[in-house]
Chain A
Amino acid sequence: MSLLEVKNLVVEFPGRRGTLRALDDISFSIAPGEILGVVGESGAGKSLTGAAIIGLLEPPGHVASGQILLEGQRIDNLGHEQMRHIRGRRIGAIFQDPLTSLNPLYTVGKQLTETILTHLPVSAAEARERAIGLLKDTGIPAAEQRIDHYPHQFSGGMRQRVVIALALAAEPQLIVADEPTTALDVSIQAQIIQLLKHICKSRGAAVMLITHDMGVIAETCDRVAVLYAGRIAEIGPVHEVINHPAHPYTAGLMASIPDMEEDRERLNQIDGAMPRLNAIPQGCAFNPRCPRAFDRCLRERPDLLQAGATRAACWLHAAEVAA
């Protein structure tokens, strides 16, 4: 059974000028121990998907329909208090900016033990012991001394390690990591990605990794979902999506990334920009920018269709299904 299942998730923001549908019919699942990547441009709905799962949607945003199931149990309709017990204990979260995810007024040890004591039945001494162990696991040298330091005494990379330790503190089954390496330099990024991968393998935790960096997705994930304008454009095994993209948007996205191995005078570009939420075109949301759009794309909105080893929301693959 999948650990997390998202079924037809719709997130809406009611406003004075009508309701904006920010996530539209998102469905996917994550198996235990699996790393699912979620990519897309700014505003595609990546972070919102993560926020919906951990129950931290900013009001007035709310889940309008659909379900989120953790081990078969619905978590999208839980109350604030019940969700607090799940968050941290069963779902851990890592955010982009390590400085704002830590409280500057408390030592990292205090923040770690607080999390452990909230969720696990251990004594204060055991909690401290555990906290030191977590810092060691995340590769922080001299953890016994560092535990009594404040966040500002750590460098950016070290702080992100503390945030990872914090997310792992209550041994969650699922970790939602929203752009965990975007604020870091490449050299530090590689260290953090390796740590995340190693820790998830050794603890059997599943990860939903949200990022706009295809390189990070390529080396880390098992499967990847490509989001465009609040919908999944393509989802499938990471190797297939990167090397044989089935959706024209994925193909365009892949071609626009400067490649280290290949020389091109000009980069391929997808003309135009992603539509605003209040002006999503009829039919397929990508049709105004799509080089292969035909009349059906302008009228009907495609659902995910089987396209080789992946599934893509594109009418080009309708024939394949019928055949």
Chain B
Amino acid sequence: MNAAVQPLVQAHDLARTFDVSAPWLNRVLEGKPRTLLHAVDGVSFEIEKGKTLALVGESGCGKSTVARLLVGLYEPTRGGLTFDGQDAHAAFKGGDAKAMRRRIQMIFQDPYASLNPRWLVEDIIGEPLREHGLITDKAQLKARVGELLQSVGLSPLDMVKYPHQFSGGQRQRISIARALATEPEFLVCDEPTSALDVSVQAQVLNIMKDLQRQRQLTYLFISHNLAVVRHVSDQVGVMYLGRLVELADKKTLFEAPRHPYTRMLLDAIPKMHDTGKARTPVQGEVPNPLNPPPGCAFNPRCPHANERCRTERPQLLTLGGIRIACHAVEEGRI
């Protein structure tokens, strides 16, 4: 790989373990061992500048933990993130922390919870500017907040209002404006439209796409809605129980999904225009992450599982231009 196509974001073997053990005294008295939850267990991907990688998966698969690792809200247990050639997690801890945080920002799922209800919009959007010392002059700050509001389709006059005076979609635009305030290059969006109605979701997705084009933004887009993912992403990673099971460009993934779990997810989407047609329901549920099955974590639900799948964990291999973790695909069984 030469320097010209160096991806902006490179996650290598990111892992995060949470200690969910019983209190020390109980462990000693009851002889219980420590319990560790492997929320994210060795996730690697790259995102090129100006592109969007989407992560999909069911609740509890570790999507949001990846997002929090990327913006430095969590420290990785293992692995790391290289951002523009720099070790991001070393930067988050060192003297350059602010410089790095300025370049990586996050949009949260719930616009009702992520905006301080006691603050004016002006203060909410101005906070990152003040915090990073980008603008100190009051008049300039106001002008900049006005510009940011306009860039997300709101009026500069809205800056003297409180969050409760806006609808859900407008609030999500305020949080986008706040994330854009420091002119970041990389935005981590954790389910940005899941709390919104479809007509409002369309408005927010369109704004996000326009901004990406204008500013060459790089997105990591987390969603459980595959139709939304198909609309916004360039590449898609499918996660299951803390690991990537398939990573491919959008077209390949949606037209020729290889991993049985990806296929199952795609089959589970209701088809709008064939009314009355039943979906193929997915069998079973996501196993308890505290006690994942041995071998491939998907094997209890997989129609193609054999002995190898039940004992040996598949690695993410590059096969035919995509990355996939499945013994059956590797062996050519499916």
Contacts and interface: CB of A to CB of B under 8 A. Distances in A.
Interface of A: 41-42, 155-158, 185-191, 193-194, 197, 212-216, 218-219, 238-239, 242-243, 252-254, 256-261, 264-271, 273
17 contacts: A42-B168, A42-B197, A185-B59, A185-B286, A186-B265, A187-B285, A213-B270, A214-B272, A215-B269, A219-B271, A253-B199, A256-B202, A258-B230, A260-B272, A266-B206, A267-B231, A268-B202
A256 B198 contact: yes
B197 to A, nearest CB: 4
Contacts of A243: 273, 275
Given A191-B282, A194-B281, A41 B273 contact: no
Contact of B275 (A191, A194, A242): A242
B278 interface: yes
Contacts, number: 129
B276 interface: yes
B147 interface: no
A238 B277 CA distance: 12
Interface residues of B, number: 43
Nearest to B227: A258
Contacts of B231: 258, 264, 267
Given A186-B265, A186-B268, A260-B227, A218 B273 contact: yes
A238 B203 contact: no
B281 A214 contact: no
Given A185-B224, A190-B281, A242-B273, 10 more contacts: A42-B168, A186-B226, A187-B265, A188-B58, A189-B268, A218-B274, A219-B277, A260-B226, A271-B203, A273-B169
Contacts of B270: 190, 193, 213, 215-216, 218-219
Contact of B205 (A41, A187, A216, A267): A267
Contacts of B277: 219
A218 B269 CA distance: 11
Given A212-B197, A267-B205, A273-B169, A188 B285 contact: yes
A219 B273 CA distance: 9
A156 B254 CA distance: 28
B103 interface: no
B302 interface: no
Given A187-B264, A266-B209, A218 B202 contact: no
A187 B281 contact: yes
Contact of A186 (B197, B203, B269): B269
A238 B269 contact: no
Interface string B235-254: 00000000000000000001
